[in-house]
Every structure is written in structure tokens, then in C-alpha cells.
Structure 1
Amino acid sequence: MAKPQTVDEYIDGFPAQVQSRLRELRALSRATAPLATEGLKWGNPAYSSGTILFVFAGYRSHANFAFTPTTVEAFADELAAFTTGKGTVQLPHDEPVPSDLISRMIAHRLDEFENHHVLWR
């Protein structure tokens, strides 16, 4: 299979259940960060504005949302029930997307970049 060249191709490369989850995350990303440029970075859907703001990726049992570590730290209490990494949050496919939380994390990341010039690291 050829490497995806667009976000649509990326999403279409997954099983139906994963596609549905990724489309939901894409819609949430576009709605919360409408001025961000959508593209692929490291082979995954990424949203940028001169620098990468956030990225999401699909896996067999979960989707992974990657922010800056400072964004994940800012929401640590609310993320206690999730598997997290240095700047990532795993969203299991068999649970609803925490849309409000992810939207607030995206908004935080936008503010972090626009007002505090925190770049992707």
C-alpha cells in the first residue's frame, strides 16, 4: 500500500470503526482550530500555524492525540482516567470521544502558541 498523501487517504487506510473515530477527531480539530492548516506530518494528520499545533493518529485499539507536554500537564487532573505520555493522550475506540476535553485542550494549545509562543518540541 502506498504511503498516504492526504488526510483522507490516511483515514481511508483504516478499518471502518477506526475511520469513524478518526473522522470524528478530524471534525473536532477543524471546528476548534478552523484557521490551522491541515496536512500530514510524520505520516499522521497534523494541524499547524507556522509550527505544528497538534497531531492525531489511529491505531488498532485507540487513537492518539499529540499536543505539547505543557498542554497535557495543564489538563493532568482531567486526564487521570486516560493513558497519557509526555505530550499524548490515548482515546480508546470503545469509549466516547471526550469532545469537550479535547476541544479545550486544542484551545489551550492554540492560546499557548499564539500568546506565549510555545513551539512544538
Structure 2
Amino acid sequence: MEKIRNVILKAAPNAEESISYGMPAYKLNKKPLVYFAAFKNHIGFYATPSGHSHFSEELSHYKQGKGSVQFPLDQPIPYELIEKIVLYRSEENLK
């Protein structure tokens, strides 16, 4: 989880960290950026529907919900993809 935190903060160094909905949350320009949480078998990553729909092809082999994706713990965590999503969401939030 610390690695995901570092990836988020590298991609969005001005993001504000907090806890929201009981999980690490990041805001940029006072708007939600991303959230994530650890579960028994996966990392839940929440980048709002727009953050996921823009990367639908790259996220297609992961289990998803509206604005969420599950990264299984028995597979490598896609840190580069997380960084790309955070950069995309940062651009959205700064508009």
C-alpha cells in the first residue's frame, strides 16, 4: 500500500491526503482524485467513473464496478497504469 501511495504522490505531488470512506483518499483542487484500500484478495482502486472509462481497454482484464477496479493480490500491481490514471484524473481536476 505504501508503494501505491508513493506512485499517487509522485504523479500528483500537490494532492491532499486524507481518509475518506475509511480508506486513503486524495484530493486535488478540492475535488476527489483517487482512493484505494486493501482487502483480503485484492487492492480496490477508485478513480471515479471517468478515470476508469478512459482506461477501459487497459483495465479490461480486472474485475470492475462503477468507478472502481480490483487488482488481485496474486498478480503484479500495475503501478505504471495507476500512475497514468492519476495523471489523467489530475488533468481533469485542474480544469
**TM class, shorter-length:** over 0.9
Report the residue type matching 1:93 in the other structure. L
Larger Rg: 1
Instruction: Kindly state the Cα deviation for residue 71 of structure 1 after the two structures are TM-superposed.
Output: 1.3
Instruction: Kindly state the Cα deviation for residue 94 of structure 1 after the two structures are TM-superposed.
Output: 1.4
Ranges in structure 1 where 5+ consecutive residues have no aligned partner: 1-21, 116-121
Query: Is 2:62 the partner of 1:82?
Result: yes
In the TM superposition, what whole-angstrom CA distance separates every residue of 1:87-114 from its partner, at most 9, and x where no partner exists?
A: 0111111111111111111111111111
What is the identity percentage for the equivalent residue pairs of Structure 1 and Structure 2? 34
Give the structure-2-normalised TM-score: 0.93
- Matched residue SS, 1:53: strand
Which of 78, 81, 87 is the equivalent residue of 1:98? 78
Ranges in structure 2 where 5+ consecutive residues have no aligned partner: none
Runs of 4+ in 1 over 3 A off after TM superposition: none
Supply the distance in 2 between the matched residues of 1:42 and 1:70 (Cα, whole angstroms). Answer: 19
RMSD: 0.9
Q: Identify the residue that residue 27 of structure 1 maps to in structure 2.
A: 6
Supply the distance in 2 between the matched residues of 1:105 and 1:68 (Cα, whole angstroms). Answer: 10
Aligned length: 94
Which structure has more RCO (C-alpha within 8 Å, separation ≥ 6)?
2
